[in-house]
Amino acid sequence: MSRSDSAQEAMGRNERRKQRVELQARLCRHIAQNLACPETPYPFIDDLERPDLFEALSPLFPAFWPALRPADQQRISRERQDTLKAVYELNGQRNEALKGQIISVARALNEIDIVPLLMKGACHLVDNTWPNCSARFIGDIDFLISPDRVQNAWVHLSKHFGLSWGPEEFDRSPALKHLTPLWSDDWQAPVELHRYVLGGYWSRCMPTDDVFLRSRCMSWEGVRIRLPADSDRICMSVLHSAGESRYYVPSVSSRDLLDIRFSCLAWPGEECWSAARHQLVKCGAEAVWEICRSNLQRFAGFDLPAASAPSSPDVRLDTLRWQWQLETGKATSLTSLYGRVAWVWYHLVSPGEPRAYLRRCVADPTVYWHARHRQGAGGEVQSQIQECDVDDADLGSA
């Protein structure tokens, strides 16, 4: 392939990427403004007839159909109507089944005196923050368990539900935020038992003990569970939308942005939002707040209740860097490498088992061979993901 052909191909990829981002923004804004009561016409129906754009935004499908006026639903081709309507109805049925799964897992944990704390998407099934629960797609169910009891909880659930796992499989690494996900053929989604809300450097933004201390215990459908404080739920959504891996390799998590939008409607006062922003500023994550804020303005058409100017030029510059990488996809390999190095360095200098585990890995030559093998095998796949789906991280998380 000639240099000019390569340049044209790159320009074509960038143009398709921009089109997908713009369509994602239009769909997300429409859902944010119309899910509770569809009143505004959707003028871009023709976009939905393009297979490449239509398939790239599947996480939004359950919420898009009920956000359309009946007149707009009829303007879509019959094939697209059937797809969107079926996805919405099946997602509603699945969410009802997920409620039963949450109840059965929580009841099993209550048997050994553990009251699990629900996180992220599963919380919306309990308190109905979304105006239409059938519209919220949930990838997995996340429970936060005290680090000193999380292994007991994992073993108990494995035995209780008859899951077959080897004794070495429950904990792939003490440096990871959750244990190996549990899965049963009778379940609708995997269950992840977290010891930390976030991984690596980001864990200091939401220490497990502090999150438990601020949470509220409640009885729900005959089981005892905990829900995070409102300010902590806001922080979780903000950090999940623009922190961790998304901070280094930008992608837009539509569901997190919609979570925040509907949380604004449920909690209109500024107190919990100011507390969430203060919490992120205090731990050095103000840039994540500003990135999320800029995404909300663009993709959901509103601003955060506790909006204020960034405190430093560095934060503004970092926000612009993130937006540029989202649009162009450039330099993501460099920022991804930086994120991996920061993750390892954080655990190497922090006390506890994660540091001991990583030091053992550093001294093991086979680790480097496996890392090189995975990098070589995964490079082509990663390039395909970046080419095909600007919202790929949206698919596999709650």
Per-residue pLDDT reduced to its tens digit, 272-325: 899 999 999 998 899 999 999 999 998 888 888 866 666 788 899 999 999 988
CA–CA separation, 128 and 136 (whole Å) = 10
Buried-exposed string 92-130: b where 16+ CB fall within 10 A, e elsewhere = bebbeebbebbebbbebbeeeebbbbbbbbbbbbbeebb
Report the relative pairing of strands 216-220 and 223-227 from DSSP bridges. Answer: antiparallel
pLDDT of 346 higher than 90: no
Chain-centre distance for alpha carbon 331: 22
Tens of pLDDT, residues 94-130: 999 999 999 999 999 999 999 999 998 899 999 889 9
Residue 395 reports pLDDT greater than 50? no
Q: At what angle do helices 286-299 and 3-34 cross, to 10 degrees?
A: 80
Which residues face 53 on adjacent strands?
none
Give the pairing of strands 223-227 and 191-194: unpaired
Distance CA 391, CA 397 (A): 11
- Residue 334 pLDDT greater than 70, yes or no: yes
More confident position, 313 or 359:
313
Q: What is the pLDDT of residue 398?
A: 59
Is 24 a residue whose pLDDT tops 70? Answer: yes
CB atoms within 10 A of CB 267: 17
Q: Could you read off the pLDDT of 123-137 as tens digits, one per residue?
A: 999 988 999 989 999
d(CA 224, CA 110) in angstroms, rounded, equals: 7
pLDDT band at 358 (very low <50, low <70, confident <90, very high): low
- Condensed to tens digits (0 to 9), the pLDDT of residues 239-269 reads 999 988 888 888 888 889 999 999 988 888 7
pTM of the entire predicted model: 0.82
CB-based burial, 210-243: b 16+ in 10 Å, e otherwise: ebbeebeeeebeebbbbbbbbbbbbbbbbbbbbb
Question: Lowest-pLDDT range, 19-23, 99-103, 207-211, 288-292?
Answer: 19-23
What mean pLDDT do residues 195-223 have?
91
Q: Give per-residue pLDDT as tens, 143-199.
A: 999 989 998 999 899 888 887 654 445 555 666 788 888 988 889 999 999 999 988
* Neighbouring C-beta atoms of residue 12, cutoff 10 Å: 10
CA 310 from chain centre, in angstroms, equals 24
Instruction: Output the pLDDT for position 338.
Output: 74
Predicted pLDDT at 337: 79
For residues 29-55, give the mean pLDDT. Answer: 83
Above 80 in pLDDT, residue 6?
A: no
Tell me, rounded to whole angstroms, the distance of Cα 29 from its chain centroid: 18
Q: Quick one: pLDDT band at residue 390, thresholds 50, 70, 90?
A: very low
Where residue 384 falls among pLDDT bands split at 50, 70, 90? very low
Instruction: Enumerate the H helices of the chain as residue ranges.
Output: 3-34, 51-56, 61-64, 70-75, 78-110, 121-127, 150-160, 208-214, 230-242, 244-248, 254-266, 271-282, 286-299, 313-328, 332-349, 353-362, 365-388
The confidence band for 142, taking pLDDT boundaries of 50, 70 and 90, is very high
Of 49 and 315, the structure prediction assigns the larger pLDDT to 315
Element (H, E) at 143: strand 141-144
The alpha carbon of 35 is separated from its chain's Cα centroid by a whole number of angstroms, namely 20
Confidence of residue 329 (pLDDT cuts 50, 70, 90): confident
Query: How confident is the prediction for the chain on average, in pLDDT?
Result: 81
**Residue-level pLDDT at 173:** 60
Asked whether the predicted pLDDT for residue 35 surpasses 70, the reply is: yes
